[in-house]
């Protein structure tokens, strides 16, 4: 027999694990809608340039982790490693920039990165995210951060710290890159090959190098805050001031640069503090990207957003024992038919119950009481509706409540109300 196995770094979600992901998606979507976001669904694969150009050639995501292949027309295609660049492509292609005011979308779905699988890190994973386009003040930055924070809180997740930083506008980053280049030049020979390249192409990427993260050079790196322009500094101070108003716990982390190239000014991550292996994992992250749209199409519309990983959220909810209050099994009903005609009747009754939103199951094979009780036992059914010849002809069914261990006669047309309690 062939030994079929899932691809390394992927997961099957079924039954409870699937229910958990759907629950998080639904909950987060509702919160996003309360902020005026609409749903957007874009393709799972895109032309490779969409990511190369925007996520950045020097980022690990683009240089090492993308699932890229040539399709049958010899076009380079990439399974999306993230949503932001793909949604920006859609924003432009669908001329959403013509909308007056802000354009706000939320999305969820699978993303693909060829990373080394470990706790909370997969090659196929699911993200939920929000992207907002349009000109707005620092108040929008705070609102976007709060929307994510409110999703975590609303799900019941505790011990999330917001790490925040400003990587400044274009001019700030040019100043900073120059300083980093100067600083790293004495160390670069002892750094990894990627960093040797990054020092010339994009020195900021050295700061989130996975290979050199313990390198001595990273201990005293120049601080980005010292290179921000006045405008960027003021913007950041305003973001922090408004966050203070909301009394959300944040830490300014000047080393937070994020692994994607499109960010400008505000960047943030949501870190879980936990006494298990999840400790320190980023549940989500995001930031402002003032020039991605203009670099793609010349139209000057800033964007800001965040995304979080559904698997990580679900794992934290496991670890904090939150699911037990959410995933209460709904009551179900087994409808028994004790002879062939009654079996058909049981199928019709089940059909009516399902239309009324009640989970109803029947045994398709057997008319014996024994087999049908066994089914109810296995499904932990709260109610069993018994239909034999007498019940069928009188249209008065026998209903057992397995929890109270009682049995009552219920008229056919009162069954739904009875089962609903
Ligand atoms: P990111 O930080 O690369 O940002 O990913 C966001 C979140 O996705 C992470 O915090 C983590 O929870 C989850 N995640 C990332 N990689 C993996 C993985 N291999 N396995 C499991 N979970 C993972 C972005 O993707 C940006 N597009 C966020 C954004 C939206 N920025 C602005 N708008």
- Rounded to the nearest angstrom, the distance between the alpha carbon of 372 and the centre of ligand 1 is 48
- Rounded to the nearest angstrom, the distance between the alpha carbon of 84 and the centre of ligand 1 is 10
CA distance 192 to 210: 10
- Which atom of ligand 1 is closest in space to residue 305's alpha carbon? 33
- Rounded to the nearest angstrom, the distance between the alpha carbon of 258 and the centre of ligand 1 is 10
User: Strand 160-166 and strand 250-252: pairing?
Assistant: parallel
396-415 residue pLDDT tens: 999 999 999 999 999 999 99
Higher pLDDT, 231 or 210: 231
- Rounded to the nearest angstrom, the distance between the alpha carbon of 320 and the centre of ligand 1 is 21
Say if residue 393's pLDDT is above 80: yes
What is the model's pLDDT at position 68? 98
305-364 residue pLDDT tens: 999 999 999 999 999 999 988 888 889 999 999 999 999 999 999 999 999 999 999 999
What is the model's pLDDT at position 344? 97
30-75 residue pLDDT tens: 999 999 999 999 999 999 999 999 999 989 999 999 999 999 999 9
CA distance 214 to 355: 60
Q: Ligand 1, atom 22: nearest CA belongs to which residue?
A: 309
Q: Ligand 1, atom 14: nearest CA belongs to which residue?
A: 309
Q: Which two tokens stand for residue 83?
A: 């949503």
135-167 residue pLDDT tens: 889 999 999 999 999 999 999 999 999 999 999
Across the chain, which distance is largest between two alpha carbons, in Å?
93
What is the model's pLDDT at position 366? 96
| Contact yes or no for 363/342 (Cβ under 8 A) | no
Query: pLDDT band at residue 132, thresholds of 50, 70 and 90?
Result: very high
CA distance 419 to 421: 5
- Rounded to the nearest angstrom, the distance between the alpha carbon of 308 and the centre of ligand 1 is 6
What is the model's pLDDT at position 58? 86
What is the model's pLDDT at position 329? 80
Question: What is the mean predicted confidence (pLDDT) over 172-196?
Answer: 93
- Identify which of 51, 127, 308 to mutate to test ligand 1's pocket (most ligand atoms within 8 A of the CB): 127
pTM for this one? 0.93
Ligand 1 pocket, CB under 6 A: 82-84, 113, 115, 120-122, 125, 127, 129, 131, 259-260, 282-287, 305-309, 311-312
Query: pLDDT band at residue 133, thresholds of 50, 70 and 90?
Result: very high
- Identify which of 89, 147, 285 to mutate to test ligand 1's pocket (most ligand atoms within 8 A of the CB): 285
Q: Ligand 1, atom 25: nearest CA belongs to which residue?
A: 82
- Rounded to the nearest angstrom, the distance between the alpha carbon of 336 and the centre of ligand 1 is 49
- Which atom of ligand 1 is closest in space to residue 81's alpha carbon? 25
Averaged pLDDT of the chain: 96
* Secondary structure, 3-state, the chain: CCCCCCCCCCCCCCCHHHHHHHHHHHHHHHHHHHCCCEECCCCCEEEHHHHHHHHCCCCHHHHHCCEEEECCCCCEEEECCCCHHHHHHHHHHCCHHHCCCCEEEEEEEEEECCCCCECCECCEEEEEEEEEECCCCHHHHHHHHHHHHHHHHHCCCCCEEEEEEECCCHHHHHHHHHHHHHHHCCCHHHCCHHHHHHHHHCHHHHHHCCCCCCCHHHCCCCCHHHHCCHHHHHHHHHHHHHHHHCCCCEEECCCCCCCCCCCEEEEEEEEECCCCCCCCCEEEEEEEECCHHHHHHCCCCCEEEEEEEHHHHHHHHHHCCCHHHCCCCCCEEEEEECCHHHHHHHHHHHHHHHHCCCEEECCCCCCCHHHHHHHHHHCCCCEEEEECHHHHHHCEEEEEECCCCEEEEEEHHHHHHHHHC
87-123 residue pLDDT tens: 999 999 999 999 999 999 999 999 999 999 999 999 9
Residue 280, judged by CB atoms within 10 A of its CB (0-12, 13-18, 19+), counts as: exposed
| Contact yes or no for 212/238 (Cβ under 8 A) | no
- Which atom of ligand 1 is closest in space to residue 312's alpha carbon? 12
- Which atom of ligand 1 is closest in space to residue 286's alpha carbon? 31
What is the model's pLDDT at position 253? 95
Count Cα neighbours of 319 within 13 Å in the Cβ-side half-sphere. 20
- Identify which of 82, 124, 277, 313 to mutate to test ligand 1's pocket (most ligand atoms within 8 A of the CB): 82
Q: Ligand 1, atom 21: nearest CA belongs to which residue?
A: 121
CA distance 40 to 78: 19
């Amino acid at each position: 027999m062939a030994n079929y196995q899932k691809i390394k770094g992927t997961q099957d979600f079924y039954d409870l694990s699937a229910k958990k992901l759907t629950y998080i998606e639904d909950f987060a979507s509702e919160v996003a809608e309360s902020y005026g976001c609409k749903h957007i669904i874009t393709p799972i694969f895109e032309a490779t340039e969409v990511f190369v150009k925007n996520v950045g050639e020097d980022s690990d995501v683009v240089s090492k982790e993308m699932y890229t292949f040539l399709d049958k027309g010899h076009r380079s295609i990439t399974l999306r490693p993230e949503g932001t660049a793909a949604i920006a492509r859609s924003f432009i292609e669908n001329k959403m920039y013509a909308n007056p005011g802000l354009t706000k979308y939320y999305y969820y779905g699978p993303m693909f990165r060829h990373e080394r699988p470990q706790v909370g890190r997969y090659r196929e994973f699911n993200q939920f995210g929000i992207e907002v386009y349009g000109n707005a003040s620092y108040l929008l930055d705070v609102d976007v951060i709060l929307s994510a924070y409110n999703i975590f809180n609303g799900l019941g997740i505790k011990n999330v710290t917001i790490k925040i930083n400003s990587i400044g506008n274009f001019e700030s980053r040019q100043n900073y890159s120059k300083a980093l280049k100067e600083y790293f030049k004495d160390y670069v020979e002892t750094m990894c090959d990627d960093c040797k390249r990054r020092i010339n192409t994009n020195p900021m990427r050295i700061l989130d190098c996975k290979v050199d993260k313990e390198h001595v050079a990273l201990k005293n790196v120049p601080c980005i805050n010292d290179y921000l322009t006045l405008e960027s500094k003021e913007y950041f101070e305003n973001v922090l001031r408004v966050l203070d108003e909301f009394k959300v716990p944040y830490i300014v982390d000047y080393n937070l640069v994020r692994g994607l190239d499109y960010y400008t000014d505000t960047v943030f991550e949501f870190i879980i503090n936990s006494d298990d292996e999840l400790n320190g994992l980023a549940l989500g992250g995001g930031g402002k990207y003032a020039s991605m749209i203009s670099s793609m199409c010349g139209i000057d519309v800033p964007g800001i957003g965040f995304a979080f990983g559904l698997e990580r959220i679900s794992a934290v909810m496991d670890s904090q024992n939150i699911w037990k209050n959410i995933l209460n099994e709904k009551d179900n009903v087994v409808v028994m038919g004790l002879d062939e005609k009654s079996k058909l009747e049981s199928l019709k009754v089940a059909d009516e119950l399902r239309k009324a939103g009640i989970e109803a199951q029947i045994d398709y094979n057997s008319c014996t009481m024994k087999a049908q009780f066994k089914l109810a036992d296995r499904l932990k059914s709260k109610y069993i509706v018994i239909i034999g010849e007498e019940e069928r002809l009188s249209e008065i069914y026998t209903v057992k409540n397995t929890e109270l261990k009682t049995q009552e006669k219920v008229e056919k047309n009162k069954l739904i109300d009875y089962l609903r309690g």
